[in-house]
Structures are given as structure tokens and as C-alpha cells.
Structure 1
Amino acid sequence: MPALRAERLQRDLELALRLADAADAQSLPRFDAADLEISTKADRSHVTDADLATERAIRGILEVERPEDGIFGEEYGAQGSTERQWIIDPIDGTANFLRGVPLWGTMIALAIDGVPQVGVVSMPALGRRWWASAGSGAWTATDAAPRQLQTSQVATLDDASVSFQSIGQWTEAGRRDALLALADRVWRDRAYGDVYAYMLLAEGHLDMVAEFDLKEYDIAAAVAIVREAGGRMTSFDGEETISARSTLATNGILHDDFLSLLHA
């Protein structure tokens, strides 16, 4: 049974990588385009014609190749099964995308019974891609060959480098004091933003990322990759879920220390 499961996940990962190819073909030509169409959603966030076209391209392939699976995407909502569910953020970092900042990417995950088992993140404006499936490690593409990822071995908060996303986000979550305590405690604090911060964590360049006001599609792919790289991702309160609307991602070694610091 484990061998059959691994074989199925490998096929799912291969499909996810093809979905990322299709996504890149939609999003990259629209990046920094003079005629980019931008509108505002009910929650006051932005959406572009590229977000919509990218998600449609992914859904179109899944509906043909995995008709029995469910889909949950940022732009077109949820449909079908939640037992095996593809979770899609067509362009994570839309604000960057529409301002011509290259730190945006497509996030594709397959969650089985709510747990991300496959994840792909593609950032075509950087020429980078990351992927993982449960039990097979996390990887990134390089010019020479795929390279396996490993989170850092940093073992003390004094030496930790962290990304906090934004001061406003922590303030709105009622966590501003915790953010200030974090900044005072660690070696280095920056706001790299969106999915890129999680990939820096998986590569071992950061030791913690925390974020609030999240949907499942904002983190599902990152969860699969960070965990397979040796890290840990929970809610801000330590729950093993992608539905808590917050996340604390660490190199694993420091996870409990960060939880203690942020809840002191």
C-alpha cells in the first residue's frame, strides 16, 4: 500500500508541474503589461485578467485529467470532493504583479483529507520553481539539475532571521506587541512578502515566517514544500491545520521557541 500511495503521489506531482507550466504560459506574458486589466473584489483586494486566466487554465486541465478530484481556487471558489482537493492560488502576490514587482507566483497543492501532500510553487518572473510530495523531499530547479531543499540548522533565536510580512497585518490581528518582541529578540527581521518568504525558509535562508488573514490557497503549497524540506508549519497557535487563518512556519528546530516567544 505505501508503494502504491507513493506512485500515485508521484503522478499527482507530475501533473502539478504540468499545471505550473500552463499557469506560467498565462501569467508571465501579462506581467508588467501596459494593458493589464485590474479590478477590485468585494474584500477590496485586487484581481487582474492574469489571475482569472491562470486559474481557468489550471481548472481546465484538472477537469479533464482529474474529474473525480475537487478544486478550491482563489478566484472561482470550491467544487467537488474535499477528500482529494486541488488548492490553487493563481497569482500569489497580485499587488506585486500589478506594480511590476517580480515577487509573485502560482501556488498549486493537492490536499488529501485536508493535509497538503503535493505542492508546487512557480515564480516565472524569477525563473524559479519549487516542488514537493509527501515522503519524496522538497526540490528546486537550478541551471545544472534539481537540488533538494533543507531548512536551516539555526538553533537559537539570537541567530534567527525572520520574515514578518507586514506591520499592518500584525496590527490588524492584534499582534503588534508580539511583533515588536520578535524583532527585539532575533538577529534579523525583514518583510520579504507573500510566497517567496516561505521558499526562502525551505531553502534555509530564513528561519521563520508568520502571517495572518489567510485562506487555504495562500499556504497549502508552501506547507507541502516546507514540511518536506524539514521545517514545520502550524497555525499561529500551534494547530496542525491550514484552515486557521494564520500560519507560523519555521525551520522546525525553533518552532516551539517561536511559539513561546510570540505568546509570552
Structure 2
Amino acid sequence: MISRIFVAATFALVSCSFAAAEEAETAGPETGKWVSLFNGENMQGWTPKIRNHKLGDNFKNTFRVEDGLLKVRYDGYEKFDQTFGHLFYKDAFSHYRFRVEYRFVGDQCAGGPGWAFRNSGVMIHGEQPEAMSLDQDFPVSIEVQLLGGNGTDSRPNANLCTPGTNVIKEGKLFTPHCVSSSSETFHGDQWVTVEIEVHGNQLIKHIIDGKTVLQYSEPQLDPRDPHAKELAEKQGGIQLNGGSISLQSESHPIDFRKVEIMVLEK
């Protein structure tokens, strides 16, 4: 009995970030119904992991709930200093639809990188935060990148970035770090709804206003990345069938007023 408990606990802390996704869904939201993962009052069910800070340390109150909104703020920062953060939901998922309604607000935190202007993201098929090192900037995951316009230039939204991962796109292994979607640009502080449709390892779609703006398949760990290679060895392969979901803090303030999921039949 002791042996079995030890193995289970070790697996949960290190390698269940992907392999346990289907089991998490069994005890999670009811299949086929939209369920809110944000109660509008607090961050129940969510845990922050901010670079150079321990899991659960909400450095400078980066993630907060005010006025019924889940907010990412930097008013306590002197400068950003690459303090990238992620807010992880407690369960892992593999087959689902996930949507957020969000807006960028205010000015970017001093010291934030230029590319992070009106930039955030939803990380899916991610590792569990317990597997991240203290100074790790991004979880190994698939990022659905949220971008806002600067008022002038074209800047597509719901793009794909791949920290420690690769995908199959148009029938070929796609290894560049980011690729733009076919979406329009969303300027200003308007509310935007982005939906992600995920079918395990088979198909992932990025959707805005009911229109698919990007799709790909076979999300997988990138063996060129040392940490991803380590995760692949622990789970016994590179293919990703599911994993954690997290919301980013990348130096520009952002509000979320809806964070919802619908678990799908496998």
C-alpha cells in the first residue's frame, strides 16, 4: 500500500501534467455543458506560479479579483524584470471547448519587453506547475496567444506559440516558436471573446466570433528543449493528449470577465 501511494503521489507531482488529463475530466465539469471556472468573487480553483517565486506566491498581488473581474495588474511593480507569471486551474483537461472574454487596459508595466505590449495568452496542454523550476518563465505548453492592436498596425489575434512544444500544421511538423492566425486586429480596450476547441491529440482550433482562425494537430513535446525532453522521458513519449490550463501575466494589464469550459465526449 505504501509503495502504491508513493508512486501515485510522485506521478501527480511530476508527470501527470499530461497523462492524467482524462482522469481529471471524469471528476470535473459535466460533459456537454458550459461551466464557469471563475466565480466572479475570488480565485478559488486557481493557483499562481510567478517566475522566481514559489508556487502559490501571488507576487505583488499580480492576479486579483475586483469588480467581478479577474485582473492581471502590475501597480506593485517597480519594473517587470521578466517576472512572467501564470495562473493555473486546478484540473487538467484533454477534450473540451474553452473560452475567455477579455480586454487589455492601461499601460504596459515599466521594463516589459516590447513584444509583450497588449500581449497575454491561454496556455493549454501544459505541464503541472509543480513540475516547473523556480526561475522557469513559461510552462511547457501550447499557447493560444492573445494580442491587442496598437491603434494603427495589423496584429492578428489568437495566434499559436509553442514553449517547449511542436505541432503538426498542414500535414508537416511545425517547429517555429510562433505563427499568426488569420484573424482581424482588435484595437483599443474592447472586450474580445476567444474560444479554443481541443480534441486531445487529434485537433485544436482557435476561434474568434465563431470563425476558425487557426488549426493544427498532434501537439507534442519538443525534444530539443531540455525540460520538455525530461517530461517526455517521464511520461514515456512526446505526444500530448491533454494537460493544465493557465492564464498569463506578461507585463500588460488585462481583465477577464468570463473563463468557461465545456468538456467534450472523447
TM over 0.5: no
- Looking at secondary structure, tell me which structure has more strand per residue: 2
TM-score (norm 2): 0.30
Structure with more contact order per residue of length (Cα contacts < 8 Å, sep ≥ 6): 2
TM-score (norm 1): 0.30
- Looking at secondary structure, tell me which structure has more helix per residue: 1
